[in-house]
Amino acid sequence: MEALKTEAWSAHDQTLQYKVRLGLWTNWSRGQVLGRTLTISRQDGNLLIAFTAFFIAFVGSRFWRIACFGLHRYHSTNDPRGAIHHQRQIILRNTVSADSAIALFSAMFWAWRHSSRLFLHVLPSFLAALFCLSAFTVAGGISSQISSSTGTEVLINGSACGIARDGALHGPERAHRSQMAKSALNYVQQCYTNSTGLMDCNAYAAERIPTYVSHDSPCPFNKSICRTDSANIHLDTGFVDSHHHLGVNAPQNERILFRQVVQCAPLVTDGYRIPYQSGGENYTLYDYGPSLWSYDKPEFTYKVKSVQRQYSHQPGDRPDTNYLLVSFSSYAWNGSTGSLSSDFVPRDEIWRTDADTFLIFLSGNGVIFAEPMNDTWYRAFDDDLVVGQPGNSAQTYRPTEAGSPLACAEQFQFCFGNSKRCGPLGGFVDASAGAFELLGVGREHVWDENTELVPGTTANAAASRFSWFALTLRYTVPSIADVFTESGPDALASTQTLAGGIQTKLPLDQWHSDITHSWAMIMAYWQATFVEIARGPTDPELVANKVAPADATQRQMCSNQKIRSTAYASFNFFALLFTYILGLVIVAISFSLEPLVDYLHRKWGHETYAHLEWTANGVLQLHRLMHDDGSEKALTWSHCTELVPTTSAKVPLAALDITDPTHPKLNRTATAIATALVSEPTPTPDGTEVGDAEDDSGTSTPPEIHTNEHRGGVTEVAREQSLHTVESDTQSLPSHIAEFLDDEIRTELDTTTTTNEDAAARTAVPSTQHPLQLRTNSRSATA
């Protein structure tokens, strides 16, 4: 058990099939700038998505701070305003996010719901917060689109790129083609039919290659040889883009467009069918042109067992019975048949110089039909044996033809950049040679005498790209005849209702479904071929015989093959870069805005009131203002125009007085005692006492000892009296409070040595230490 170290199913993990190119690349579907793409592992991608969403949320909070700063300064005024105005200003100053502002504004709406002016003052700011929250919430949500807009598109690592050339009749090449055929069949059944399959149909650049179909086309050959001249099938892909449909990532001017057209029709057999006997066995010969490879009756196209020999067994004796399909190809080459690449030379009735011709013979091969089949290709309406038990039996039917022929004309057309620069529509060899001529390469430099493409056709970059494209088609993508040869009966849609050698009822145009089904397999081949070539063959024997890219242009095509993979994450690098740069700019502005405005204020006094109101509305400055009631103790506050005001560490601040729980306030008892002790009337040099002075009107004015502007001097006598008063008046207080007040007041009296003249001068000059102070006296309030 310990020796078993390898996961049994690891080789079948579809996400590990291809090596993917990590890092930056250009997705030309979106252009050179917007198409810049970053591919990383899925785990790193999830982290990047999460971090981006967090970053956008952070940027949103900083953007709200910028909006708050602007709104606060816009509404700032030194004119008298009500509580709603000031509450809004405080909210704008102190909320760190739009959602917290919305919550506070909502609370204001409710608390002031009876105020008629509430909405006029608060609604614009509330809407600004709502807009900011909504915008950045949506931005955070669509941040995942930075990845999903690009989707799961990645580039294959094309370092092992190469074409597994189909040059052997047996061995790994054939096994490779057989595996490709099975994969194409599975893909068609899952992704090209209307049924919902279990396979992932998003592995390739496009889920399907589009095709246009006509079911009532005329005979593509001489109409005398077709069984019908009006019910034939015509399939046309239109122009298939190498970039969009096949995933060969390239700018517009380097793309190759191709068009594939197939027209098929069942053929008559009268005059082309000959009974033949050899070795005591009965055969049927079909003559639609001499065979180029057969050594037995080469003057005929096909020799097959007679119907009687095919149905010599009893029904049920061969439950694995299936149809027999044999195909023949004839490639047009410069007005003639490419002798070494073709299987037969078509008769004039089916010969076309502008198309490749294929014959497909369908034999029942022992398959019995439960009902008569009048389809023009199957033609199964001859009575066969009665099957079943007495009382529960049924008549069965068999085909009338030993090998029912169907002929197809296949054409290609190649264009460069767009559909206006195109070669001729013709057989594959002629169509590709005509396309090469558009690129400045003559036919004689493209094909050899065996109609084989010369691998090194690299006269220029465009020709090199098309050479690799044509090599891919020539060696890997089958014709419609090859599909039937390689896949056999699986290429027929009718086998889906075949069981135990008995074919159930089929529609009268079943052969249309069969051709469409095989055509879909060709399209699936197209999609898989370029991906497989970019990856390169993995079998060592195939690697030894592969056709490698001839130059840097072809290697570039290999390393620019797109697929879709959920094992990796691709991001729109432009959107990612834009998001982070813009976000960082917003963050930088938000953090530098206040220092910049503060500098302008200090340098030129720019909008002094708005600047100082913003500072004073800060949480810690509001806290200072709450305690800085103008008493002598206020002198201990510093940094009153900065973010964090400070005071002496020994100065206690008032706690809450919750005597009335519905109206909590500050407990200023200790502060009041200290203020009373410091504010005792003291003699002055002229004989009057501070506190007894009269104003110009002759009325007594109480000493404004709670403001910094009206602090007078203290004589030595007054100091001793004050200290005596402190000692007597603090005896009734708790010991720790009395001790604190005694130390603090002694210090205060020691440092208070200014004269009345100094006090008068200071009365006329505002304090530079406390420019932010609530105006509490009656005259200030009136002003």
Instruction: Please tell me whether residues 262 and 166 are part of one structural domain.
Output: yes
Q: Does 25 score more than 90 pLDDT?
A: yes
Instruction: Please tell me whether residues 116 and 97 are part of one structural domain.
Output: yes
Instruction: Please tell me whether residues 428 and 553 are part of one structural domain.
Output: yes
Give the C-alpha separation, 524 to 476, whole Å: 12
Instruction: Please tell me whether residues 313 and 257 are part of one structural domain.
Output: no
For position 195, what pLDDT does the model report? 55
The answer to whether position 622 is within a domain reads no
Which pTM was predicted? 0.73
* Single-letter amino acid code for the residue at 365: N
**Spatial CA neighbour of 347 closest among 337, 339, 338:** 337
Instruction: Please tell me whether residues 736 and 647 are part of one structural domain.
Output: yes
DSSP classification of residue 614? H
For position 196, what pLDDT does the model report? 57
CB atoms within 10 A of CB 706: 17
Instruction: Please tell me whether residues 134 and 117 are part of one structural domain.
Output: yes
Q: In terms of residue numbers, what domain contains 551?
A: 158-267+415-566
Tally of domains in the chain: 4
Q: Does 442 score more than 50 pLDDT?
A: yes
Instruction: Please tell me whether residues 312 and 234 are part of one structural domain.
Output: no
For position 589, what pLDDT does the model report? 96
The answer to whether position 358 is within a domain reads yes
Give the C-alpha separation, 391 to 373, whole Å: 24
The answer to whether position 179 is within a domain reads yes
Domain boundary among 337, 372, 398: 398
The answer to whether position 606 is within a domain reads no
The answer to whether position 50 is within a domain reads yes
Instruction: Please tell me whether residues 437 and 561 are part of one structural domain.
Output: yes
For position 697, what pLDDT does the model report? 40
For position 289, what pLDDT does the model report? 94
**Spatial CA neighbour of 89 closest among 71, 110, 64:** 71
- Phi, psi of 131, deg, nearest 5: -65, -45
Instruction: Please tell me whether residues 69 and 121 are part of one structural domain.
Output: yes
**Spatial CA neighbour of 167 closest among 458, 537, 433:** 537
What percentage of residues in the chain have a pLDDT greater than 90?
40
pLDDT, tens digit (0-9, with 9 covering 90-100), for 743-763: 545 544 454 444 344 433 333
Instruction: Please tell me whether residues 36 and 145 are part of one structural domain.
Output: yes
The answer to whether position 46 is within a domain reads yes
Vertex 748, ends 746 and 750: CA angle to 5°?
70
Give the C-alpha separation, 149 to 140, whole Å: 15
DSSP E strand boundaries for 130-173: 153-155, 163-164
Per the model's pLDDT, the better-predicted residue between 64 and 673 turns out to be 64
Sheet of 302-305: strands edge to edge? 273-278, 281-286, 302-305
Rounded to the nearest 10 degrees, how much is the dihedral formed by the CA atoms of 483, 215, 362, 188? 30
The mean predicted confidence, pLDDT, of the chain is: 80
Burial class (CB in 10 A: 0-12, 13-18, 19+), 244: middle
Instruction: Please tell me whether residues 174 and 69 are part of one structural domain.
Output: no
Q: Write out the two tokens for 248.
A: 């060969």
Q: Mean pLDDT, to the nearest integer, of 709-713?
A: 39
pLDDT, tens digit (0-9, with 9 covering 90-100), for 532-573: 999 988 888 788 778 889 889 999 999 999 998 888 988 989
pLDDT, tens digit (0-9, with 9 covering 90-100), for 289-309: 999 887 677 889 999 999 999
The answer to whether position 683 is within a domain reads yes
**Spatial CA neighbour of 216 closest among 226, 229, 197:** 229
The answer to whether position 21 is within a domain reads yes
Q: Does 527 score more than 50 pLDDT?
A: yes
> CA distances (Å), 253 to each of 241, 249, 461, 470, in order?
12, 12, 12, 18
**Spatial CA neighbour of 358 closest among 410, 404, 401:** 410
